Amino acid sequence: MAALLEQAGSAVVLTGAGVSVPSGIPDFRSPGTGLWAHVDPMAVAHIDVWRRDPEYFWSFYGQRFHVLGPAEPSGGHRVVAELQPRGLIGPVITQNIDRLHHKGGATDVIEMHGSIAHGECLACGATVEFELLTTRIAAASDGVPRCDCGAPLKPGVVLFGEMLPEEATDRAFELCADADLMVAIGSSLEVHPVAALPAVVLRGGGDLVLVTQGETPYDDVATVKLTGDVAEELQGVLAAL
C-alpha cells in the first residue's frame, strides 16, 4: 500500500464506519454490536419518522449525539489526515457523520451522508451548530431541539428516505473518475451509490486497496487487502512511508 501511494498520481480515500470503531463508535451491521443490531433503522431514522413523530425520532437520535459528540479521532483518522499535506492523497470521501476526520486534522472531507456538526430547520432554512443543537436537545422537555422559529430541528445527516447531497455526490464521482488509486478504509462497500465509487476507479485503470476486516464485493479485484486492526494497519503503512 505504501508503494502504491508513492506511485499514484491521484489517490483518493474512501472511509466507512470501520475507521471510527477504534474511537468507540459502533458500526452498523455487526451482529450484536452494530447500531442496527437491535432496531429497525426504517422505524427510527427515516425522514418520515422525523416528520411524523419528532419526539420518537429524537429519543433515538439524541442518543447518537450523546455517543458521537465526545468521540475522539482514532489513529486511523490521524494517519489519513497526515497523508494529505504530504501530497499522497487528495480529498477524503466518507460515509461517516461523526466529524472525526475533521477532528483528526483532515482538511478536505466530502461527507456523503452529511454530518452531526449541525442541525437544520426545514421550515425556515436556518442552521444550528453542534454545540447549540446539543444544548437544545438537553434542555427540551420532550427531547426535541427546536429552531428559533419554533419548528423541530433535523440533524444535518442524510436520513433514510432522503437523497444524498448532489454536490458531494457529483464531486466524489468526478474525483474517482480521475483517480489512479483508491484506498477504501473500514467500509463494507455495499451501500449505494458510494459502493459504486471503487468501480469507477477500476474502470479507469486505477488500483484499489482495501483496509477492512470484513468481506466486500471487491475483494477479488483489489490489488491489496489489509485485514488487521484498521488503525494499526494504517499506522504500519505510515511507518513504511
Q: Give tens-digit pLDDT for 156-171.
A: 999 999 999 999 999 9
Query: Does the pLDDT at position 22 exceed 80?
Result: yes
Of the residues 96, 125, 157, the one at which a domain ends: 157
| Residues designated as active site | 113
pLDDT, mean of residues 220-237: 95
Q: In terms of pLDDT, which residue wins out, 226 or 40?
A: 226
Percent of the chain with pLDDT over 90: 83
206 shares a domain with 131 = no
Statement to judge: residues 35 and 107 lie in one domain: no
> How many residues make up the chain in this entry?
241
64 lies in which domain range? 26-70+114-157
* Shared-domain flag, residues 34 and 107: no
Per-residue confidence (pLDDT) for residue 24, from 0 to 100? 87
The pLDDT value recorded for residue 67 is: 82
Closest CA to 206 of 222, 187, 194, 227: 222
Confidence of residue 29 (pLDDT cuts 50, 70, 90): low
The contacts of residue 108 (CB under 8 Å, 6+ apart) are 84, 90, 91, 92
At 119 the three-state DSSP class reads strand
Residues 98 and 124 in one domain: no
For residue 239, what is the domain's CATH number? 3.40.50.1220
Q: What grid cell was written down for 158? A: 442524510
Contact 179, 203 (CB under 8 A): no
Domain count, the chain: 2
132 and 212 part of one domain: no
Residues 126, 202 within the same domain: no
One domain for residues 125 and 6: no
**Is there a single domain that holds both residue 145 and residue 230?**
no
Of 184, 193, 173, 175, nearest in space to 218 by CA: 184
Report angle CA 108, 232, 88 to the nearest 5 degrees: 35
What pLDDT score does 27 carry?
61
Task: Return the pLDDT at 33.
Answer: 45
Tell which residue, 214, 102, 93, 224, has the closest CA to residue 165. Answer: 93
Tell me, yes or no, whether 129 and 200 share the same domain.
no
In angstroms, rounded to a whole number, what is the distance separating the alpha carbons of residues 50 and 118?
16
Q: What is the DSSP string of 173-193?
A: HHHHHH-SEEEEES--S-STT
Q: What are phi and psi of 205, to 5 degrees?
A: 90, 10
153 shares its domain with 227: no
Closest alpha carbon to 198 in 222, 215, 163, 214: 222
Are both 178 and 62 inside the same structural domain? no
Nearest Cα neighbor of 19 from 241, 229, 236, 220 is: 229
- C-alpha–C-alpha distance, residues 227 and 211, integer Å: 6
